[in-house]
Amino acid sequence: MYKIFLDQNRIFECDIKIEGANLNESEVRLFLETKNFTLSFFGEINSDGKVKIPINKLKGILKENLSGKIFLEVIAEDTVFKPWEDEYQTDVSKKVEVSFNNKLDEQQTQVKPKISFKLKDEALDLNKHRKEIFKILENNNVNKKRLYKNTKVLNKLIERYCSNNNINDINNKKTIRNDVLKNLL
């Protein structure tokens, strides 16, 4: 698979041999086919058969992780040849990823000895847990609508809350998460 970097100018290079035609009078083009359109790039062939085809930055023209067919076309004395074909995928050479480690509550980050217990038949008090979680959100000025849309952050919040409150049963964690999610808006 041929990689096309959207944020870089690049030169496609290869060597070709043409028999029965003059290299100087031949033409070469590179095509990128997508589902909806085809891009073509014109190049040059030197006297040794070295092909160079410039591909300018395609950011804004093609999307990232797009795939399709790439092929080389050579025209030698009114005859069209397709000597090379492959699949391509677009990517960017430079990526920035951001992750946030927000403190939910100053008291939660302090290490204090804790003693806790749980009765096996203890019913899950959803109302209590929901109120405590919403209080944490309010104390930290968290936008509830934004949190509703960002389920990764919500899942981390619920996981941390359950860990700090010794709620280890996965079904109870899911129940609390679903209850908070339902009541966010």
What does pTM read for this prediction?
A: 0.50
Residues 86 and 110 in one domain: no
**Strands of 38-45's sheet, edge to edge?**
2-5, 79-91, 67-76, 27-33, 38-45, 50-55, 10-15
Domain contains 137: yes
Of 58, 91, 124, the last residue of a domain is 91
Say if 96 falls within a structural domain: no
| Tally of structural domains, the chain | 2
Q: Do residues 66 and 125 share a domain?
A: no
Structural domain range at position 74: 2-91
Domain boundary among 50, 67, 91: 91
pLDDT (tens, 9 = 90+) of the chain, 185 residues, equals 888 888 889 899 998 888 888 888 889 999 999 888 899 999 999 988 899 999 999 888 888 888 999 999 999 888 899 999 999 998 887 777 766 666 555 545 555 666 655 544 455 777 888 888 888 878 877 777 777 777 788 788 888 888 888 787 788 888 888 888 787 76
Examine residue 98 and state whether it is found in any structural domain, yes or no: no
